[in-house]
Amino acid sequence: MGYFLVDDLSIFAPVKFLSPFSFCMFLITTANAFGQEFDAAADTLKTKQLDEIIVTATRNERMVGALPMPVSLIPKNQIKTMGSLRLNDVLTEQTGLVVVPQINAQGNGIQIQGFNPDYTLILIDGEPIIGRYTGSLELSRIAIGNIKQIEIVKGPSSSLYGSDALAGVINIITDRPTGIRTNAAMRYGTNNTLDVNADVAFTKKKWGVYVFGNRYHTDGYDLSPQNFGKTVSPFTNYTFNSKLTYKFSSATDISVAGRFFDEDQVFRFEVESNGSRTRTAGNGNTHDWNFNPVLTHRFSDKLKMIARFYSTHYLTETKLNLETDGSPYYQDNFEQSFTRPELNAEYFFNDRNILTAGGGYIKEMVQTSRYGDEEKRFQETSYGFFQHEWLPLEKLTVISGGRYDHNTIYGGQFSPKLSSRYELNKKVTFKISGGVGFKAPDFRQLYFNFNNSAGGGYSVLGTEVALDRLAELDAAGQIQIYLFDPNRLGALQAERSVSINAGAHVKILPSLKMDLNVFHNSINNLIETQAVAVTTTGQSIYSYRNILRAFTQGVESNFSYPVAKYLSLSVGYQLLFAKDKDIAEAVKAGYMYWRDPITLATKRLKPGEYFGLYNRSRNMGNIKLFYDHKPSGWEGSLRVIYRGKYGIGDIRGNIQGEIIPPSDRNSNSILDKYDDFVSGYALVNISVAKTINQTIRVQLGVDNVFDHTEPVTIPNLPGRLFYTSVSYSFSKKNIQP
């Protein structure tokens, strides 16, 4: 594989759309045809690897610079320099992405453009990861030792991917078998965290095999040692991943991928119920597997078809026993499966027109003790989609597409999308895209019948079961008070967003590049948990409700500048406004008030004093320096990640039984400037690595250098972490430069 100056090549419009038949050859011939441009590639600072191809945005291999929607790509070498181990480590450092804890302040989900983690679709090689049993996906489940790159598309992508892709799509592209190579790495750090992984790639003639294995163990950490149990309990997990490829002919190939993941966690909890504290110990087990054969056939140099099959299974179980006598105290299980055959085709009409179309069928199953029974609940979805990539002018790209999903529970959803890119000149390129995203009410929101006595004492009831269950409790005299009229809960509808992203890529100087993106997401039928009642034992009962309208809007900007030959600087910033539309309008109309907690005087909230939704920071940003000196093998990084102040809603206690004080202190239940906020903070991460003889790499690093912690409000933020790692790589055809 050679090196290409992708950004410059892409200004020649026909190059942007590559025949599915001979992708690489086409690039090479084109590059040679424009020899002058190719010479520019000699400038090593400007060169980018051919790897800067992204599939997520269009479902086809396209160059990042040629796409009309906001996309970003995190390559493997950057992940390695950062010393990251799990998906959350990588994502938390990206502009506009925030890793946020979930219910009970546990776990790690991803917030994009102000959307909760439930609204971002997370894929491995184009297939969804399941197991969102509290709504968001636990990012630490994903080991990243076998990742080739991480692709992030912001803005709604339901037009290609269906439900859940409102805020965007994160697609983890795993390594494929190339050449003959092997890599083994071991990392040890604070909290007795040991990560060992190894992979082997082997290709011979038509065969290719890739195998990856990872073991991760941590003792967890304890931010509140005065309490029983740990903030994050010790856990150990194993990830195995394999990929087998076979080339039947130059036109037909197959890839069969599989993943297996197993995690064991050892808990110690102090459960408070009815004022008495009970010490429990137990364990949690999570495992998932998937199976993903993909058959690709090129009928001609114009038509390519891909048949995909994906089946995945997720299971998590928690058991707690009384510490005193070991008798069972609490048991919880959640099992989910997802199976999907899909067929899609890419037709290359000519240099200026490419059509992609496809269809598929999904069958999902959930079975859990959290629904009050162990019945299996199914839903089925049939869908079809199309996408037209069109170059009406040399400098203009227009991509239009849409998808129709039909589901056995929520009915039909049509999600269109239109994107366009225009090159004003060599320095400035404009991009704009608009689309519709949707998220179906999930099993949990419909059928939950869950009483968590272990997690601080609360119940969650899906809307389909809430009325019956509340009536039962009421009849048994267990309801102390209603906080919300259950009859107003109603049936849940799919959440829908209409979004626009508009931006520009500007070369301010030949080497100073800026990406700017302005976004607005208008969300309807947003589903939120709703506190419905309190039981006579003081436990809250929650259900779900379509909160009518919200919006998120803001600006994201990224600058990149090569300070010196081997040193690159990047600066990212996001400004975000995320608000409940109804509240924003009430404030504007003068109908929102606040009471001074000291004087007890009531005042009118002025426009501008309403801060917005909880858990959203208005400002966030990062400054990163990456040093990569290939001749000597030294590399290093200094990254500063800032998250501005934000508010906390009424989420009650955290896992260690500590009350998380909600922001609202002036009796209006909204977040305004007079409330308490979690202060803004910056995390500083440093890493240094040296590669010897292109085979042995030694790395040292410190994450969270200044040991910033917020034990009560940010339990998912561990303190300072030291680590060291050693890796060994061998490849028969050494493709290092």
What does the binding site for other proteins look like in residue numbers (CB under 8 A)?
274-276, 479, 481-485, 531, 534, 537-538, 540, 591-595, 597-598, 600, 602-604, 650-653, 659-662, 664-669
Whole-number Cα distances in Å, 722 to 44, 137, 194, 484, 689: 33, 27, 12, 48, 14
Query: Smallest distance from the beta carbon of 269 to other proteins, in angstroms?
Result: 19
- How far is it, in rounded angstroms, from Cα 362 to Cα 339? 6
DSSP secondary structure of 587-617: HHHT--EEE-TTT--EEEPPTT-B--STT--
Please provide the distance, in angstroms rounded to a whole number, between the alpha carbons at the two ends of the chain.
Answer: 11
- How far is it, in rounded angstroms, from Cα 283 to Cα 545? 33
Q: Which is nearer to other proteins, 18 or 592 (CB)?
A: 592
Q: Which is nearer to other proteins, 368 or 668 (CB)?
A: 668
- Burial class from Cβ neighbours inside 10 Å (0-12, 13-18, 19+) for residue 250 reads exposed
Q: Which is nearer to other proteins, 188 or 482 (CB)?
A: 482
Structure token pair of residue 303: 């038509």
- Please give the helix or strand (H or E) that residue 430 lies within, else none: strand 428-439
Query: Smallest distance from the beta carbon of 676 to other proteins, in angstroms?
Result: 10
Query: Smallest distance from the beta carbon of 590 to other proteins, in angstroms?
Result: 9
Q: Which is nearer to other proteins, 602 or 724 (CB)?
A: 602
Any bridge partners for residue 262, and if so which? Answer: 238, 287
Q: Tell how strand 120-124 and strand 328-350 pair up.
A: unpaired
Structure token pair of residue 150: 């991480």
Q: Which is nearer to other proteins, 467 or 567 (CB)?
A: 467
Whole-number Cα distances in Å, 522 to 326, 529, 646: 51, 19, 21
Q: Residue 623: phi, psi to the nearest 5? A: -130, 125
Query: Smallest distance from the beta carbon of 667 to other proteins, in angstroms?
Result: 4
DSSP secondary structure of 442-496: PHHHHH-EEEETTTTSEEEE-HHHHHHHHHHHHHTT-EEEESS-GGGT-----EE
Query: Smallest distance from the beta carbon of 614 to other proteins, in angstroms?
Result: 12
Q: Which is nearer to other proteins, 101 or 437 (CB)?
A: 101
Q: Which is nearer to other proteins, 36 or 276 (CB)?
A: 276
Query: Smallest distance from the beta carbon of 542 to other proteins, in angstroms?
Result: 9
Query: Smallest distance from the beta carbon of 475 to other proteins, in angstroms?
Result: 13
Query: Smallest distance from the beta carbon of 109 to other proteins, in angstroms?
Result: 20
Q: Residue 591: phi, psi to the nearest 5? A: -105, 15
The alpha carbon of 170 is separated from its chain's Cα centroid by a whole number of angstroms, namely: 5
Q: Which is nearer to other proteins, 274 or 300 (CB)?
A: 274
Query: Smallest distance from the beta carbon of 537 to other proteins, in angstroms?
Result: 7
Q: Which is nearer to other proteins, 247 or 549 (CB)?
A: 549
- How far is it, in rounded angstroms, from Cα 163 to Cα 441? 9
